[in-house]
Structure 1
Amino acid sequence: MRHLSLIHVYKRQARGCAVTLAARDGDELKNAEAMLRHRHPRTAVHGVVCDVRDQEAVRALMRRAHEVAGGPDIVVANAGIIQVAPLDSIGAEEFRSAMDTMFAGALHTALESLPYLRRSPYGGRLALISSVGGLLGVPHLLPYACAKAATGVLAEGLLTETAADRVSVTGVYPGLMRTGSHLHAQFGGDRSKEFAWFSALAGAPLISMNAQRAAERIVSGVVRRRARVVLTPAARAAGLAHGIAPATTVRLSALAARLLPKGTGTREPLREGNSIAPPEGFAARRLRAWGSAMNDRAAHAYNQRTA
Protein backbone atom coordinates (compact mmCIF):
# COMPACT_ATOMS: atom_id res chain seq x y z
CA MET A 1 0.00 0.00 0.00
CA ARG A 2 1.18 3.53 -0.58
CA HIS A 3 0.89 4.68 3.02
CA LEU A 4 2.08 2.67 5.98
CA SER A 5 -0.45 1.53 8.54
CA LEU A 6 0.66 1.49 12.17
CA ILE A 7 -2.17 -0.47 13.69
CA HIS A 8 -0.31 -3.73 14.24
CA VAL A 9 2.76 -2.53 16.12
CA TYR A 10 1.66 -0.72 19.27
CA LYS A 11 1.15 -3.62 21.63
CA ARG A 12 4.33 -5.41 20.58
CA GLN A 13 6.20 -2.30 21.65
CA ALA A 14 4.60 -2.52 25.10
CA ARG A 15 5.85 -6.12 25.28
CA GLY A 16 9.44 -4.98 24.87
CA CYS A 17 10.01 -5.84 21.23
CA ALA A 18 12.25 -3.90 18.89
CA VAL A 19 10.14 -2.90 15.88
CA THR A 20 11.14 -2.96 12.22
CA LEU A 21 8.75 -1.17 9.85
CA ALA A 22 8.69 -1.68 6.10
CA ALA A 23 6.95 0.29 3.36
CA ARG A 24 7.51 1.33 -0.25
CA ASP A 25 7.23 5.06 0.38
CA GLY A 26 10.36 6.35 2.10
CA ASP A 27 8.81 9.64 3.23
CA GLU A 28 5.82 7.93 4.81
CA LEU A 29 8.15 5.43 6.45
CA LYS A 30 10.16 8.23 8.07
CA ASN A 31 6.94 9.80 9.30
CA ALA A 32 5.83 6.48 10.79
CA GLU A 33 9.15 6.07 12.59
CA ALA A 34 8.87 9.56 14.04
CA MET A 35 5.33 8.94 15.24
CA LEU A 36 6.29 5.73 16.99
CA ARG A 37 9.40 7.18 18.59
CA HIS A 38 7.35 10.09 19.90
CA ARG A 39 4.75 7.79 21.43
CA HIS A 40 7.21 5.14 22.64
CA PRO A 41 10.57 6.87 23.19
CA ARG A 42 12.17 3.84 24.87
CA THR A 43 11.32 1.47 22.02
CA ALA A 44 13.88 0.61 19.35
CA VAL A 45 12.26 1.46 16.02
CA HIS A 46 13.82 1.46 12.58
CA GLY A 47 12.41 1.44 9.07
CA VAL A 48 13.45 -0.24 5.85
CA VAL A 49 12.17 0.81 2.44
CA CYS A 50 10.90 -2.40 0.87
CA ASP A 51 8.52 -3.41 -1.89
CA VAL A 52 7.17 -6.79 -0.81
CA ARG A 53 6.37 -7.66 -4.43
CA ASP A 54 10.13 -8.06 -4.87
CA GLN A 55 11.38 -11.20 -3.10
CA GLU A 56 15.00 -10.02 -3.14
CA ALA A 57 13.96 -6.82 -1.38
CA VAL A 58 12.14 -8.84 1.28
CA ARG A 59 15.22 -11.01 1.74
CA ALA A 60 17.29 -7.86 2.33
CA LEU A 61 14.63 -6.59 4.78
CA MET A 62 14.85 -9.74 6.90
CA ARG A 63 18.63 -9.68 6.84
CA ARG A 64 18.61 -6.03 7.92
CA ALA A 65 16.15 -6.75 10.76
CA HIS A 66 18.42 -9.56 11.93
CA GLU A 67 21.54 -7.39 11.85
CA VAL A 68 19.96 -4.46 13.67
CA ALA A 69 17.77 -6.13 16.28
CA GLY A 70 18.32 -9.88 16.14
CA GLY A 71 15.56 -12.27 15.21
CA PRO A 72 13.13 -11.56 13.73
CA ASP A 73 10.95 -13.50 16.15
CA ILE A 74 7.54 -12.10 15.16
CA VAL A 75 6.61 -11.18 11.58
CA VAL A 76 3.33 -9.65 10.40
CA ALA A 77 2.58 -9.47 6.66
CA ASN A 78 0.08 -6.66 6.16
CA ALA A 79 0.79 -5.01 2.79
CA GLY A 80 -2.35 -4.35 0.80
CA ILE A 81 -4.28 -2.32 -1.72
CA ILE A 82 -8.04 -1.89 -1.96
CA GLN A 83 -9.75 -1.59 -5.34
CA VAL A 84 -13.45 -0.75 -5.23
CA ALA A 85 -15.26 -1.02 -8.55
CA PRO A 86 -17.84 -3.12 -10.42
CA LEU A 87 -16.46 -5.87 -12.62
CA ASP A 88 -17.13 -4.03 -15.88
CA SER A 89 -14.84 -1.19 -14.74
CA ILE A 90 -11.76 -3.33 -14.10
CA GLY A 91 -9.73 -5.94 -15.96
CA ALA A 92 -7.03 -8.55 -15.46
CA GLU A 93 -4.50 -5.84 -14.59
CA GLU A 94 -6.33 -5.00 -11.35
CA PHE A 95 -6.43 -8.68 -10.36
CA ARG A 96 -2.70 -9.05 -11.05
CA SER A 97 -1.92 -5.94 -9.02
CA ALA A 98 -3.93 -7.22 -6.06
CA MET A 99 -2.34 -10.66 -6.22
CA ASP A 100 1.18 -9.24 -6.57
CA THR A 101 0.82 -6.97 -3.55
CA MET A 102 -1.24 -9.07 -1.15
CA PHE A 103 -0.66 -12.71 -2.00
CA ALA A 104 2.87 -12.54 -3.45
CA GLY A 105 3.80 -10.02 -0.76
CA ALA A 106 2.63 -12.40 1.98
CA LEU A 107 4.33 -15.33 0.26
CA HIS A 108 7.67 -13.53 -0.05
CA THR A 109 7.45 -12.40 3.57
CA ALA A 110 6.72 -15.92 4.76
CA LEU A 111 9.43 -17.61 2.71
CA GLU A 112 12.14 -15.13 3.66
CA SER A 113 11.22 -14.92 7.35
CA LEU A 114 10.84 -18.64 8.06
CA PRO A 115 14.59 -19.41 8.27
CA TYR A 116 14.87 -16.81 11.06
CA LEU A 117 11.64 -17.83 12.76
CA ARG A 118 12.77 -21.45 12.89
CA ARG A 119 15.91 -20.36 14.78
CA SER A 120 14.09 -18.09 17.20
CA PRO A 121 14.76 -19.12 20.82
CA TYR A 122 11.19 -18.02 21.63
CA GLY A 123 9.54 -20.02 18.88
CA GLY A 124 8.83 -17.88 15.84
CA ARG A 125 5.45 -16.40 15.12
CA LEU A 126 4.14 -15.43 11.67
CA ALA A 127 0.86 -13.60 11.02
CA LEU A 128 -0.65 -13.18 7.56
CA ILE A 129 -3.42 -10.59 7.29
CA SER A 130 -6.28 -11.82 5.15
CA SER A 131 -9.80 -10.30 5.35
CA VAL A 132 -13.48 -11.08 5.57
CA GLY A 133 -13.11 -10.76 1.80
CA GLY A 134 -10.96 -13.89 2.02
CA LEU A 135 -13.88 -15.82 3.51
CA LEU A 136 -16.39 -15.07 0.75
CA GLY A 137 -16.55 -13.17 -2.52
CA VAL A 138 -17.45 -9.51 -1.91
CA PRO A 139 -19.09 -7.61 -4.81
CA HIS A 140 -17.21 -4.57 -6.09
CA LEU A 141 -14.11 -5.82 -4.21
CA LEU A 142 -13.37 -8.88 -6.29
CA PRO A 143 -9.59 -8.47 -6.91
CA TYR A 144 -9.13 -7.74 -3.20
CA ALA A 145 -11.21 -10.75 -2.18
CA CYS A 146 -9.35 -13.11 -4.51
CA ALA A 147 -5.94 -12.04 -3.19
CA LYS A 148 -7.08 -12.21 0.44
CA ALA A 149 -8.58 -15.68 -0.08
CA ALA A 150 -5.24 -16.90 -1.44
CA THR A 151 -3.48 -15.36 1.55
CA GLY A 152 -5.80 -17.17 3.95
CA VAL A 153 -5.13 -20.51 2.28
CA LEU A 154 -1.41 -19.79 2.42
CA ALA A 155 -1.64 -19.19 6.18
CA GLU A 156 -3.45 -22.48 6.73
CA GLY A 157 -1.00 -24.42 4.58
CA LEU A 158 2.05 -22.87 6.22
CA LEU A 159 0.64 -23.74 9.64
CA THR A 160 0.57 -27.43 8.75
CA GLU A 161 4.00 -27.32 7.08
CA THR A 162 5.80 -25.56 9.96
CA ALA A 163 4.14 -27.15 12.99
CA ALA A 164 7.14 -29.38 13.66
CA ASP A 165 9.51 -26.39 13.62
CA ARG A 166 8.05 -24.59 16.67
CA VAL A 167 6.78 -21.86 14.34
CA SER A 168 3.16 -20.77 14.68
CA VAL A 169 1.25 -19.22 11.78
CA THR A 170 -1.86 -17.12 12.42
CA GLY A 171 -4.33 -16.22 9.69
CA VAL A 172 -6.05 -12.92 10.54
CA TYR A 173 -9.42 -12.05 9.00
CA PRO A 174 -10.44 -8.46 9.80
CA GLY A 175 -13.83 -7.13 8.86
CA LEU A 176 -14.38 -3.47 8.09
CA MET A 177 -11.78 -1.38 9.88
CA ARG A 178 -11.61 2.31 10.80
CA THR A 179 -8.06 2.98 9.62
CA GLY A 180 -8.50 5.81 7.12
CA SER A 181 -8.01 3.41 4.22
CA HIS A 182 -10.90 4.99 2.30
CA LEU A 183 -8.61 7.89 1.40
CA HIS A 184 -6.17 5.66 -0.45
CA ALA A 185 -8.44 2.92 -1.71
CA GLN A 186 -8.76 3.00 -5.50
CA PHE A 187 -12.20 3.54 -7.00
CA GLY A 188 -13.64 2.88 -10.44
CA GLY A 189 -17.01 3.01 -12.17
CA ASP A 190 -19.19 5.72 -10.63
CA ARG A 191 -16.35 6.78 -8.34
CA SER A 192 -18.26 9.21 -6.15
CA LYS A 193 -20.98 6.71 -5.34
CA GLU A 194 -18.50 3.87 -4.86
CA PHE A 195 -16.55 6.05 -2.43
CA ALA A 196 -19.75 7.00 -0.60
CA TRP A 197 -20.89 3.44 0.16
CA PHE A 198 -17.40 2.14 0.94
CA SER A 199 -16.48 4.97 3.31
CA ALA A 200 -19.90 4.79 4.98
CA LEU A 201 -19.57 1.09 5.81
CA ALA A 202 -15.87 1.30 6.71
CA GLY A 203 -16.60 4.11 9.14
CA ALA A 204 -19.89 2.91 10.62
CA PRO A 205 -19.40 2.40 14.39
CA LEU A 206 -21.65 -0.67 14.71
CA ILE A 207 -20.26 -2.42 11.62
CA SER A 208 -16.60 -1.46 11.51
CA MET A 209 -13.96 -1.89 14.20
CA ASN A 210 -11.64 0.56 15.92
CA ALA A 211 -8.10 -0.07 14.68
CA GLN A 212 -6.46 0.05 18.11
CA ARG A 213 -8.84 -2.57 19.46
CA ALA A 214 -8.21 -4.70 16.40
CA ALA A 215 -4.45 -4.41 16.92
CA GLU A 216 -4.81 -5.66 20.49
CA ARG A 217 -6.86 -8.64 19.33
CA ILE A 218 -4.36 -9.47 16.60
CA VAL A 219 -1.35 -9.30 18.91
CA SER A 220 -3.15 -11.39 21.51
CA GLY A 221 -3.93 -14.05 18.92
CA VAL A 222 -0.36 -14.11 17.64
CA VAL A 223 1.10 -14.34 21.15
CA ARG A 224 -1.26 -17.21 21.98
CA ARG A 225 -0.36 -18.93 18.70
CA ARG A 226 -3.94 -19.11 17.51
CA ALA A 227 -4.42 -20.56 14.04
CA ARG A 228 -7.15 -18.08 13.09
CA VAL A 229 -8.32 -14.68 14.33
CA VAL A 230 -11.57 -13.33 12.88
CA LEU A 231 -12.36 -9.73 13.83
CA THR A 232 -15.80 -8.07 14.05
CA PRO A 233 -19.08 -9.91 14.62
CA ALA A 234 -20.09 -9.26 11.00
CA ALA A 235 -16.98 -11.01 9.70
CA ARG A 236 -17.53 -13.98 11.99
CA ALA A 237 -21.17 -14.22 10.94
CA ALA A 238 -20.26 -14.01 7.25
CA GLY A 239 -17.60 -16.70 7.57
CA LEU A 240 -19.94 -18.97 9.52
CA ALA A 241 -22.81 -18.49 7.08
CA HIS A 242 -20.60 -19.20 4.09
CA GLY A 243 -19.22 -22.34 5.75
CA ILE A 244 -22.66 -23.72 6.62
CA ALA A 245 -24.68 -22.60 3.59
CA PRO A 246 -22.34 -21.35 0.86
CA ALA A 247 -24.91 -21.36 -1.95
CA THR A 248 -27.41 -19.34 0.08
CA THR A 249 -24.71 -16.91 1.17
CA VAL A 250 -23.66 -16.33 -2.43
CA ARG A 251 -27.27 -15.68 -3.46
CA LEU A 252 -27.66 -13.15 -0.65
CA SER A 253 -24.44 -11.49 -1.73
CA ALA A 254 -25.80 -11.27 -5.26
CA LEU A 255 -28.91 -9.52 -3.93
CA ALA A 256 -26.73 -7.07 -2.00
CA ALA A 257 -24.74 -6.36 -5.16
CA ARG A 258 -27.91 -5.02 -6.80
CA LEU A 259 -28.00 -2.25 -4.21
CA LEU A 260 -24.49 -1.06 -5.10
CA PRO A 261 -23.82 1.61 -7.75
CA LYS A 262 -24.25 0.51 -11.35
CA GLY A 263 -21.23 0.29 -13.61
CA THR A 264 -20.59 2.96 -16.21
CA GLY A 265 -19.86 0.48 -18.99
CA THR A 266 -16.42 1.99 -19.58
CA ARG A 267 -12.96 1.33 -18.18
CA GLU A 268 -10.99 4.27 -16.86
CA PRO A 269 -7.98 4.37 -14.52
CA LEU A 270 -8.87 3.86 -10.88
CA ARG A 271 -8.47 6.92 -8.65
CA GLU A 272 -7.64 7.26 -4.97
CA GLY A 273 -10.39 8.31 -2.61
CA ASN A 274 -8.71 11.56 -1.60
CA SER A 275 -8.93 12.81 -5.19
CA ILE A 276 -12.61 12.04 -5.79
CA ALA A 277 -15.09 14.90 -5.94
CA PRO A 278 -18.17 14.77 -3.69
CA PRO A 279 -21.20 13.08 -5.28
CA GLU A 280 -24.17 15.00 -6.56
CA GLY A 281 -27.38 14.90 -4.55
CA PHE A 282 -28.09 15.64 -0.91
CA ALA A 283 -28.49 12.01 0.21
CA ALA A 284 -25.23 10.85 -1.40
CA ARG A 285 -23.31 13.79 0.09
CA ARG A 286 -24.71 13.11 3.56
CA LEU A 287 -23.85 9.42 3.27
CA ARG A 288 -20.28 10.24 2.33
CA ALA A 289 -19.89 12.81 5.10
CA TRP A 290 -21.37 10.52 7.75
CA GLY A 291 -19.29 7.51 6.77
CA SER A 292 -16.05 9.39 6.39
CA ALA A 293 -16.16 11.27 9.68
CA MET A 294 -14.67 8.60 11.97
CA ASN A 295 -12.38 7.28 9.25
CA ASP A 296 -11.00 10.75 8.59
CA ARG A 297 -9.95 10.99 12.23
CA ALA A 298 -8.36 7.56 12.02
CA ALA A 299 -6.42 8.59 8.91
CA HIS A 300 -4.27 10.98 10.91
CA ALA A 301 -3.74 8.58 13.80
CA TYR A 302 -2.64 5.70 11.56
CA ASN A 303 -0.45 7.54 9.03
CA GLN A 304 -3.00 7.46 6.21
CA ARG A 305 -3.12 11.20 5.73
CA THR A 306 -3.64 12.64 2.28
CA ALA A 307 -0.68 13.51 0.10
Structure 2
Amino acid sequence: MKIYHHIDDFTPLNNAVVTIGTFDGVHQGHRQIIAGIKELARQTGGETVILTFFPHPRMIIHPENQDLKLITTIQERAALLEELGVDHLIITPFSRDFSNQTAEAYIRDVLVNRIGTRKIIIGYDHRFGKDRAGGLADLLKAAPIYGFEVIEIPEQDINHVAVSSTCIRQALSRADIEQANAFLGYPFFITGKVIRGNQIGRQIGYPTANLLVEESYKLIPGDGIFAASVQLGSETFQGMAYIGHRPTINGMTRNIEVNLFDFSRDIYNQSLQMNFLNFVRHDVKFSSLEGLKEQLAQDRIEVLKLLNGL
Protein backbone atom coordinates (compact mmCIF):
# COMPACT_ATOMS: atom_id res chain seq x y z
CA MET A 1 0.00 0.00 0.00
CA LYS A 2 1.27 3.46 -0.88
CA ILE A 3 0.70 6.16 1.74
CA TYR A 4 0.45 9.87 0.93
CA HIS A 5 0.46 12.50 3.68
CA HIS A 6 -1.08 15.21 1.52
CA ILE A 7 -3.46 15.18 -1.43
CA ASP A 8 -0.87 17.15 -3.44
CA ASP A 9 1.55 14.20 -3.19
CA PHE A 10 -0.87 11.94 -5.06
CA THR A 11 -0.66 11.45 -8.82
CA PRO A 12 -4.19 11.13 -10.29
CA LEU A 13 -5.09 7.63 -11.48
CA ASN A 14 -6.86 6.62 -14.66
CA ASN A 15 -9.30 4.37 -12.84
CA ALA A 16 -9.56 5.15 -9.13
CA VAL A 17 -12.13 3.25 -7.04
CA VAL A 18 -12.58 5.49 -4.03
CA THR A 19 -14.15 5.63 -0.61
CA ILE A 20 -13.87 8.40 1.98
CA GLY A 21 -14.00 8.49 5.77
CA THR A 22 -12.10 8.67 9.04
CA PHE A 23 -12.14 4.85 9.37
CA ASP A 24 -11.34 5.03 13.09
CA GLY A 25 -10.86 1.46 14.28
CA VAL A 26 -11.15 -0.06 10.78
CA HIS A 27 -14.05 -2.07 12.21
CA GLN A 28 -16.43 -4.64 10.72
CA GLY A 29 -18.54 -1.97 9.02
CA HIS A 30 -15.48 -0.36 7.46
CA ARG A 31 -14.30 -3.77 6.28
CA GLN A 32 -17.50 -4.31 4.31
CA ILE A 33 -16.90 -1.02 2.49
CA ILE A 34 -13.26 -1.91 1.79
CA ALA A 35 -14.29 -5.33 0.49
CA GLY A 36 -16.69 -3.50 -1.83
CA ILE A 37 -14.07 -1.20 -3.35
CA LYS A 38 -11.65 -4.09 -3.75
CA GLU A 39 -14.23 -6.12 -5.65
CA LEU A 40 -15.11 -3.16 -7.87
CA ALA A 41 -11.44 -2.56 -8.61
CA ARG A 42 -11.00 -6.24 -9.47
CA GLN A 43 -13.95 -6.16 -11.84
CA THR A 44 -12.87 -2.99 -13.63
CA GLY A 45 -9.09 -3.20 -13.49
CA GLY A 46 -8.94 -0.17 -11.20
CA GLU A 47 -6.96 0.71 -8.08
CA THR A 48 -8.44 1.20 -4.62
CA VAL A 49 -8.04 4.58 -2.93
CA ILE A 50 -9.05 5.52 0.61
CA LEU A 51 -9.20 9.22 1.41
CA THR A 52 -9.00 9.73 5.15
CA PHE A 53 -8.36 12.70 7.40
CA PHE A 54 -6.05 13.60 10.26
CA PRO A 55 -6.55 15.21 12.67
CA HIS A 56 -10.09 13.94 13.12
CA PRO A 57 -12.46 16.63 11.77
CA ARG A 58 -14.13 17.03 15.18
CA MET A 59 -10.78 18.00 16.69
CA ILE A 60 -10.54 20.94 14.27
CA ILE A 61 -14.17 22.03 14.08
CA HIS A 62 -14.65 21.80 17.87
CA PRO A 63 -11.18 22.37 19.39
CA GLU A 64 -12.76 23.36 22.70
CA ASN A 65 -13.92 19.76 23.15
CA GLN A 66 -10.97 17.59 24.17
CA ASP A 67 -13.10 14.56 25.04
CA LEU A 68 -12.82 12.74 21.71
CA LYS A 69 -10.48 9.76 21.94
CA LEU A 70 -9.78 7.56 18.94
CA ILE A 71 -9.71 3.76 18.73
CA THR A 72 -6.65 3.83 16.50
CA THR A 73 -3.77 6.24 16.04
CA ILE A 74 -3.17 7.31 12.46
CA GLN A 75 -0.21 4.89 12.29
CA GLU A 76 -2.32 2.00 13.57
CA ARG A 77 -5.10 2.87 11.14
CA ALA A 78 -2.68 2.81 8.22
CA ALA A 79 -1.28 -0.57 9.28
CA LEU A 80 -4.76 -2.09 9.50
CA LEU A 81 -5.74 -0.76 6.07
CA GLU A 82 -2.53 -2.13 4.59
CA GLU A 83 -3.37 -5.57 6.01
CA LEU A 84 -6.69 -5.41 4.12
CA GLY A 85 -4.91 -4.92 0.78
CA VAL A 86 -5.80 -1.30 -0.02
CA ASP A 87 -3.69 0.10 -2.89
CA HIS A 88 -3.51 3.79 -1.92
CA LEU A 89 -4.12 5.65 1.35
CA ILE A 90 -4.28 9.45 1.22
CA ILE A 91 -4.05 11.02 4.68
CA THR A 92 -5.34 14.54 4.19
CA PRO A 93 -4.38 17.12 6.84
CA PHE A 94 -7.80 18.32 7.97
CA SER A 95 -7.99 22.07 8.49
CA ARG A 96 -10.60 24.82 8.58
CA ASP A 97 -9.60 25.85 5.06
CA PHE A 98 -10.18 22.30 3.85
CA SER A 99 -13.55 22.13 5.63
CA ASN A 100 -14.62 25.44 4.08
CA GLN A 101 -14.52 24.16 0.49
CA THR A 102 -17.88 24.12 -1.21
CA ALA A 103 -19.27 20.72 -2.09
CA GLU A 104 -18.81 21.49 -5.79
CA ALA A 105 -15.15 22.49 -5.33
CA TYR A 106 -14.48 19.40 -3.21
CA ILE A 107 -15.88 17.09 -5.89
CA ARG A 108 -14.12 18.85 -8.77
CA ASP A 109 -10.76 19.67 -7.20
CA VAL A 110 -10.23 16.71 -4.86
CA LEU A 111 -12.19 13.74 -6.12
CA VAL A 112 -11.88 14.36 -9.85
CA ASN A 113 -8.76 16.44 -10.52
CA ARG A 114 -6.51 15.26 -7.68
CA ILE A 115 -7.55 11.59 -7.43
CA GLY A 116 -9.05 10.63 -10.80
CA THR A 117 -12.17 9.06 -9.33
CA ARG A 118 -14.09 6.76 -11.65
CA LYS A 119 -16.15 4.97 -9.01
CA ILE A 120 -16.94 6.07 -5.47
CA ILE A 121 -18.60 3.99 -2.75
CA ILE A 122 -20.22 6.17 -0.14
CA GLY A 123 -22.69 5.85 2.72
CA TYR A 124 -26.19 7.26 2.24
CA ASP A 125 -25.50 9.76 5.05
CA HIS A 126 -21.95 10.86 4.14
CA ARG A 127 -21.50 14.65 4.40
CA PHE A 128 -18.73 16.89 3.08
CA GLY A 129 -17.87 20.46 2.17
CA LYS A 130 -18.55 23.72 4.00
CA ASP A 131 -20.97 23.27 6.91
CA ARG A 132 -21.27 19.61 5.83
CA ALA A 133 -23.74 20.81 3.20
CA GLY A 134 -22.63 18.32 0.53
CA GLY A 135 -23.94 14.82 0.31
CA LEU A 136 -25.04 11.95 -1.88
CA ALA A 137 -27.32 14.15 -3.99
CA ASP A 138 -24.37 16.40 -4.93
CA LEU A 139 -22.28 13.42 -5.97
CA LEU A 140 -25.10 11.98 -8.08
CA LYS A 141 -25.59 15.36 -9.77
CA ALA A 142 -21.87 15.73 -10.52
CA ALA A 143 -21.31 12.13 -11.66
CA PRO A 144 -22.41 12.51 -15.31
CA ILE A 145 -20.63 15.86 -15.60
CA TYR A 146 -17.25 14.49 -14.49
CA GLY A 147 -17.63 10.89 -15.65
CA PHE A 148 -17.68 8.92 -12.44
CA GLU A 149 -20.15 6.45 -10.94
CA VAL A 150 -21.60 6.65 -7.42
CA ILE A 151 -22.37 3.45 -5.54
CA GLU A 152 -24.50 4.14 -2.47
CA ILE A 153 -24.34 2.07 0.68
CA PRO A 154 -28.02 2.12 1.66
CA GLU A 155 -29.27 2.78 5.17
CA GLN A 156 -30.46 -0.78 5.73
CA ASP A 157 -27.00 -2.19 4.95
CA ILE A 158 -25.30 0.17 7.37
CA ASN A 159 -27.88 -0.51 10.09
CA HIS A 160 -27.64 -4.25 9.46
CA VAL A 161 -23.99 -4.17 10.47
CA ALA A 162 -24.99 -2.29 13.64
CA VAL A 163 -21.41 -1.18 14.15
CA SER A 164 -20.04 2.30 14.61
CA SER A 165 -16.80 3.76 15.92
CA THR A 166 -18.89 5.48 18.61
CA CYS A 167 -20.35 2.26 20.03
CA ILE A 168 -16.87 0.69 20.05
CA ARG A 169 -15.48 3.69 21.95
CA GLN A 170 -18.30 3.33 24.47
CA ALA A 171 -17.62 -0.38 24.94
CA LEU A 172 -13.90 0.23 25.48
CA SER A 173 -14.57 3.04 27.95
CA ARG A 174 -16.55 0.65 30.15
CA ALA A 175 -13.85 -2.05 29.70
CA ASP A 176 -16.19 -4.27 27.68
CA ILE A 177 -13.35 -5.74 25.66
CA GLU A 178 -15.33 -8.69 24.35
CA GLN A 179 -18.01 -6.45 22.85
CA ALA A 180 -15.46 -4.04 21.36
CA ASN A 181 -13.48 -6.89 19.81
CA ALA A 182 -16.62 -8.39 18.29
CA PHE A 183 -17.42 -5.06 16.62
CA LEU A 184 -13.82 -4.52 15.52
CA GLY A 185 -13.27 -8.01 14.11
CA TYR A 186 -9.85 -8.21 15.79
CA PRO A 187 -8.47 -7.62 19.32
CA PHE A 188 -8.26 -3.98 20.35
CA PHE A 189 -4.63 -3.03 20.84
CA ILE A 190 -2.36 -0.35 22.23
CA THR A 191 1.13 0.38 20.97
CA GLY A 192 3.65 2.08 23.21
CA LYS A 193 7.19 2.26 24.52
CA VAL A 194 8.30 0.41 27.66
CA ILE A 195 9.36 2.85 30.40
CA ARG A 196 10.62 2.43 33.95
CA GLY A 197 8.06 2.19 36.73
CA ASN A 198 8.51 2.15 40.51
CA GLN A 199 9.19 -1.62 40.64
CA ILE A 200 6.24 -2.41 42.97
CA GLY A 201 5.21 -5.33 40.77
CA ARG A 202 8.70 -6.78 40.92
CA GLN A 203 8.68 -6.57 44.73
CA ILE A 204 5.59 -8.76 44.97
CA GLY A 205 6.58 -11.25 42.28
CA TYR A 206 4.68 -9.77 39.33
CA PRO A 207 7.08 -7.54 37.40
CA THR A 208 5.39 -5.43 34.76
CA ALA A 209 6.32 -3.58 31.61
CA ASN A 210 4.96 -0.04 31.92
CA LEU A 211 3.73 1.43 28.63
CA LEU A 212 3.97 5.03 27.52
CA VAL A 213 1.39 5.86 24.85
CA GLU A 214 2.63 9.07 23.25
CA GLU A 215 -0.53 9.96 21.30
CA SER A 216 -2.76 11.81 23.75
CA TYR A 217 -5.83 11.18 21.59
CA LYS A 218 -5.52 7.37 21.81
CA LEU A 219 -8.44 5.80 23.66
CA ILE A 220 -7.41 3.76 26.71
CA PRO A 221 -9.94 1.18 27.97
CA GLY A 222 -11.62 1.44 31.35
CA ASP A 223 -9.64 0.38 34.41
CA GLY A 224 -9.14 -3.26 35.28
CA ILE A 225 -7.24 -6.49 34.75
CA PHE A 226 -7.24 -8.08 31.28
CA ALA A 227 -6.03 -11.19 29.52
CA ALA A 228 -3.63 -10.01 26.85
CA SER A 229 -1.14 -11.03 24.23
CA VAL A 230 1.89 -8.92 23.50
CA GLN A 231 3.78 -8.57 20.24
CA LEU A 232 7.42 -7.66 20.71
CA GLY A 233 9.08 -7.53 17.31
CA SER A 234 8.32 -10.86 15.65
CA GLU A 235 7.62 -12.61 18.98
CA THR A 236 4.28 -13.02 20.78
CA PHE A 237 3.87 -13.53 24.53
CA GLN A 238 0.95 -14.09 26.87
CA GLY A 239 0.33 -11.76 29.74
CA MET A 240 -1.88 -10.09 32.32
CA ALA A 241 -2.55 -6.41 31.60
CA TYR A 242 -3.49 -3.73 34.09
CA ILE A 243 -4.96 -0.26 33.62
CA GLY A 244 -5.58 1.96 36.61
CA HIS A 245 -4.29 4.29 39.31
CA ARG A 246 -2.86 1.53 41.57
CA PRO A 247 -5.15 2.41 44.50
CA THR A 248 -3.46 -0.06 46.89
CA ILE A 249 -0.36 2.17 46.94
CA ASN A 250 -2.38 5.39 46.58
CA GLY A 251 -1.10 5.96 43.05
CA MET A 252 -1.62 9.40 41.54
CA THR A 253 -1.27 8.62 37.83
CA ARG A 254 -3.10 6.24 35.51
CA ASN A 255 -0.81 3.41 34.47
CA ILE A 256 -0.82 0.91 31.61
CA GLU A 257 1.16 -2.20 32.58
CA VAL A 258 1.51 -5.82 31.55
CA ASN A 259 2.96 -8.79 33.41
CA LEU A 260 4.44 -11.06 30.73
CA PHE A 261 4.31 -14.74 31.64
CA ASP A 262 7.59 -16.68 31.76
CA PHE A 263 9.54 -13.62 30.67
CA SER A 264 12.64 -12.03 32.21
CA ARG A 265 14.33 -9.93 29.51
CA ASP A 266 15.15 -6.22 29.75
CA ILE A 267 12.92 -4.47 27.23
CA TYR A 268 13.12 -0.86 28.42
CA ASN A 269 12.71 1.70 25.60
CA GLN A 270 11.44 -0.96 23.20
CA SER A 271 8.05 -0.65 21.50
CA LEU A 272 5.42 -3.30 21.87
CA GLN A 273 1.81 -3.92 20.88
CA MET A 274 -0.57 -5.10 23.60
CA ASN A 275 -3.70 -6.89 22.41
CA PHE A 276 -6.65 -6.92 24.82
CA LEU A 277 -8.42 -10.30 24.66
CA ASN A 278 -10.67 -10.56 27.74
CA PHE A 279 -11.78 -8.49 30.72
CA VAL A 280 -11.04 -10.21 34.05
CA ARG A 281 -12.04 -7.82 36.85
CA HIS A 282 -12.35 -4.18 37.83
CA ASP A 283 -9.60 -2.37 39.70
CA VAL A 284 -10.00 -2.44 43.50
CA LYS A 285 -8.02 -1.24 46.50
CA PHE A 286 -6.53 -3.88 48.80
CA SER A 287 -5.62 -3.34 52.45
CA SER A 288 -2.01 -4.46 51.86
CA LEU A 289 0.46 -5.45 49.18
CA GLU A 290 0.11 -9.03 50.44
CA GLY A 291 -3.61 -8.91 49.70
CA LEU A 292 -2.88 -7.57 46.22
CA LYS A 293 -0.32 -10.35 45.66
CA GLU A 294 -2.84 -13.03 46.63
CA GLN A 295 -5.42 -11.57 44.23
CA LEU A 296 -2.89 -11.37 41.40
CA ALA A 297 -2.19 -15.10 41.85
CA GLN A 298 -5.90 -15.76 41.32
CA ASP A 299 -5.98 -13.34 38.39
CA ARG A 300 -3.10 -15.18 36.73
CA ILE A 301 -4.99 -18.47 36.98
CA GLU A 302 -8.09 -16.88 35.43
CA VAL A 303 -6.09 -15.19 32.66
CA LEU A 304 -4.35 -18.45 31.75
CA LYS A 305 -7.74 -20.19 31.55
CA LEU A 306 -9.03 -17.50 29.20
CA LEU A 307 -5.91 -17.48 27.07
CA ASN A 308 -5.90 -21.26 26.74
CA GLY A 309 -9.64 -21.54 26.10
CA LEU A 310 -10.41 -23.47 29.28
Taking structure 1 as the reference length, the TM-score comes to 0.30
Q: Which has the higher strand share?
A: 2
Q: Larger Rg: 1 or 2?
A: 2
